[in-house]
Amino acid sequence: MARLFMPGPTDVHPDVLAAQNQPLIGHRGQDFEALFARLQPKLRQVFFTHSRVYISTSSGTGLQEAAIRNGVARKVLCAVNGSFSQRWYEVAVANGKEAVPLEVEWGKAVKPEMIAEALQAGGFDAITVVHNETSTGVVSPIKDIAARLHDRYPDVTILVDAVSSLGGDRIDFDAWGLDVLLTSSQKCLAVPPGLSFAAVSDRVLAKAKTIPARGLYFDFVDLEKYLVKNQTPATPAISLMWALDAALDRILAEGLEARFTRHARMADRVRSWAQQKFDLFAEAGYRSQTVTCVTNTRAVDVKALNGFLKSRGMQISDGYGALKGKTFRIAHMGEIQLKDVEELLALIDEFIA
């Protein structure tokens, strides 16, 4: 039974948890190289790419930093439509890049025309966009944004955060022509926290080589040097990589299409329930497949609701940051099944009755 209806960490299957429980191996030996080599094709399937997927021993925020350091030469446009996209803008500023926020009303998606208009100011060589804004339950049309950029601004690097959607919703790295696509282990992939992953295009790797201060831990050029040897520059979280191996097997055994359909069905169910009992925070047409942000129209005490749910072994998330109390969030990602969602909604109904 699923318990954690929160957008990370999500429930981890017992087989995946158990896969970590093995004697350690050295990270400069053949056993590790075999593990790394086995993970690459599976990760590439999940990212829909023939390109490399780096494995980082850090949470996703580390790869937000990596994307900025390796993917931005001078000036970056950061689309901001919620807390996690705001964080990415702050990461750009903290790394000394000239960063311009494109402020979009929270609850609304970032649209191609907004990006195209903002880029007219000139001088930008990269953009950051969050695919699935976890704080508002909004999904932005990355495919259309990328198409517009390829058409009008072909030299602008496209950096995408899909931390709360990759593995639960389709994001086609190669076909959409993205440059960096990053995610964390502990959300839709249903692996314990501590790893993150980034698909990286050839063109951004070539660009990185021209950017002087890339830092050390997250340097793509260095990660690439080791990736071709099936290694990582520093000691990776080996135990988590065993968990990842087992989780990817589960994901591919379910099938990516079936997995996306399962997530879409759960999202539909939660949305229609929320529209009956509350309201939805995200604008129509751009609602997340993996997390629903519910407008708290009944002024329910979310802390008390969560206390009640916890006594029944379940948990949801309060609104994030400024949206705390005004909204609450139900994640339907990773290992969660429709029947778990039904159980949760019945309990919330009981609480508000």
Ligand X SMILES: *Cc1c(COP(=O)(O)O)cnc(C)c1O
Alpha-carbon 158 to chain mean position:
15
211: helix, coil or strand? coil
| Minimum distance of ligand X from residue 65's CB (angstroms) | 10
Compute the least distance from the CB of residue 336 to ligand X, in Å: 16
Residue 188 binding ligand X, by CB under 6 A: no
Nearer to ligand X by C-beta: 51 or 134?
134
Q: Six-digit token pair at 209?
A: 């080589």
Least separation in angstroms between residue 126's CB and ligand X is 17
Determine if 56 is a binding residue for ligand X (CB under 6 A).
no
Q: Does 67 bind ligand X (CB under 6 A)?
A: no
Q: Is 65 in the site for ligand X (CB under 6 A)?
A: no
CB of 72 to ligand X, least distance (A): 17
Question: In sequence order, which residues have a C-beta less than 8 Å from that of residue 204 and are 6 or more positions away?
Answer: 70, 71, 157, 179, 180, 220
Q: Is 61 in the site for ligand X (CB under 6 A)?
A: yes
DSSP string, 47-85: HT-SSEEEEESS-HHHHHHHHHHHH-SSEEEEEESSHHH
Q: How far is the CB of 246 from ligand X (least distance, A)?
A: 20
DSSP state of 333: -
For residues 31, 35, 41 and 42, what is the CA-based torsion angle, rounded to 10 degrees?
A: 160
Tokens 């948990």 correspond to: 315
Task: Provide the mask over 125-164, with x wherever binding to ligand X is found by CB under 6 A and - wherever it is not.
Answer: -----x-x-x--------------------------x-xx
Indicate whether 57 belongs to the interface with ligand X (CB under 6 A).
Answer: no
Q: Which residues pair with 83 in a beta bridge?
A: none
- Tell me the site size for ligand X, rule CB under 6 A: 13
Q: What is the binding site for ligand X (CB under 6 A)?
A: 7-8, 59-61, 84, 130, 132, 134, 161, 163-164, 184
